[in-house]
Structure 1
Amino acid sequence: MPELPEVEVSRQGLLPFLSQQRIAGAIVRTPRLRHEIPPGLDARLAGLRVETIRRRGKYLLFDCQSEHGGGWLMIHLGMSGSLRLVAPATPAQAHDHFDLLFADTVLRLRDPRRFGALLWHEGERVEAHPLLAGLGIEPLSAAFDGDWLHAATRGRRAPIKPLLMDSRLVVGIGNIYAAESLHLAGISPRRAANRISHARYHLLAAAVRSTLSAAIAAGGSSVRDYVHSDGGAGCFQLSCAVYDRAGEPCPACGGPVQMIRQGGRSSFYCRRCQR
């Protein structure tokens, strides 16, 4: 957490307010989060204009005049991070590690666990950054479909759920969205990836797209620390069919939702509906 839907909701919430806005400066309050924050980042950012905000996986990419001698501000929210727009005079709290200053507003990064990232990439081709170069396919892209999933999982004996959460294969599908997508597609999280038929992979790809789109429409999931750029909370978690509902009835068949451990994570599913 936050996963693809939460990061996309953040991007959509920030873009109307920050696109084409000139950066007045920046305040860095800690030397590092998950990675060291580049020294002199405040000086590099001052005077640049935010052209647009893109997303790659769970990274937010601020195009700071990359085609005109600038670069890209890369932000990852880690497990507990959030971005909020606050008034310029708003005092910083204990876990507010970074402010991006504009004439009429401040973009504030809060990260209590410090597992996020704040990085700078010089030049135009941000996709070449080492943290982005190895990322897998975007699940909301046109290229992600049943044919692609089927081909990508040939020879993969691992259970399908951990594979869906592997960012080297597919980006941004966290625990909640993998569980809900598999339930919607009727596929057990235990099933070996190479033992899922071509037809069922078409169902799974459609379920992933549907689940992520529904989560974005619901403002994401606020399970722990995540909030929108205006401080509001997401509500997708309130409509989950199986996630975090162990022992409760499956909304499709009434059978009890099961919980198992996979790769150190809890997996929730219905034995009757998912095979």
Structure 2
Amino acid sequence: MFEPSGPPRLARLLWERDVELVGLPAIIGRRPRPSAVVRMARPPRWTPHRSEETVPAGDRGFVVRDTRIAYENPWMRVREDAIVRADGSPGLFGVVEKPDFALIIPVDASGVWLVEQFRHPVDGRYWEFPQGSWEDRPDVGPAELAEAELREETGLRAGRLDHLGQIFTAYGYADQACQVWLATELSPGQRELSVEEQDLVTRRFSHREWGDLLSGGVIKDASSLAAWALLCASPLRERAFGRAVRFPGS
């Protein structure tokens, strides 16, 4: 058992109490008790972006002394890291581990394609770029995943797929990364929605309409907004659409 330094009573409270992570009830519905923790095999693709072994303080400003899994299901797991800061005081980090996902920007000179679906944690329907991950296919390549997610959610096939970059969606509490792709030379096809996506709506927006969605604060998905910023700053914008096209936000 980890014995953090510092005042004994404070250390005991930090380590032994049933800690309620900020925002966790919205993710899993309720706070799991240690006796009710679900243990499931961890998919090979769920490789954390940091080692679970004890690490030196370095740039972190603290040392990880112990780790436990607080909750786990087929899509995510919540890890608690007990730490000791540089001044010797104990602390606790709650980390949500989820597999990386692909986000695709399907766009041409006439407009962009978005999808809308109900997002249960925030209790609302929102427009966003097609995106997703495959927990049951840990060996899938990033480009293959992007092509498949685009096809499944919109029916579109991309003649060209360019990687724009990687972003972290919420690195204050989660290790999940997003690979951003630009899809061009598009051709229509049949959607292949999963059972979880049966409420998903696909629609094409003109660039003027897309600009209105951005300026009006309609787009709430942080990954979609960050992905569009990557495209606006990328030379791929000019190469794909020509200098005659002026994009919202550019």
TM-score by length of 1: 0.22
Bigger CA radius of gyration: 2
Answer 1 or 2: which has greater strand percent. 2
